[in-house]
Amino acid sequence: MSTKIFPTAQDAENAFYEALERGDLEAMMAVWSEDEEIVCVHPSGQRLAGQQQVREAWRQMFAGGSNLRVQVAQQLVVGGVMLAVHSVHENITIAGEPRARPPMLATNVYVRTAAGWRMIVHHASPAQEAAAPAAAPAPPKTLH
């Protein structure tokens, strides 16, 4: 049981991304709700449900060490008294990679508990590349 208390959903979100960058499994799991009704979907991955599956997936991800940086951008928040949904763009860079990765789209859902705010859903997927702007239509030809 985690003794860490997150007074706001944003505090929990900040702790989530800090744990991700550090590759810290215990800090990561401190953000998650201790209930079994949690769900995590990594980019192009399967749905993971429950403490055991979510913990094991993060353990495997962190096993190689942490060499990534995450910049969260374009955050949209829908919140209430007991539930908050954050939609973000995750710009991830990995040390030693010559070029930037395409952004990920992530949805993070937090619930307010007696022990503060906790994550119950993290779903990330690759963002589609923006479509090229349509060419301006050619002006009509006038025949004289």
| pLDDT, tens digit, 9 for 90 and up, residues 16-65 | 999 999 999 999 999 999 999 999 999 988 999 999 999 999 999 999 77
Burial of residue 74 (CB within 10 Å: 0-12, 13-18, 19+) is exposed
User: How confident is the model at residue 97, as a pLDDT?
Assistant: 77
Domain presence at residue 45: yes
- Going 120 to 8 to 70 to 103, the CA torsion angle's sign is positive
Question: Does residue 8 sit within a domain?
Answer: no
pLDDT over 60 at 136, yes or no: no
The verdict on residue 2 lying in a domain is: no
Residues 91-118 pLDDT 10s: 988 877 777 778 899 999 999 999 899 9
Residue 107 domain boundaries: 16-126
Q: Is residue 95 part of a domain?
A: yes
5 domain residue, yes or no: no
Return the pLDDT at 123.
97
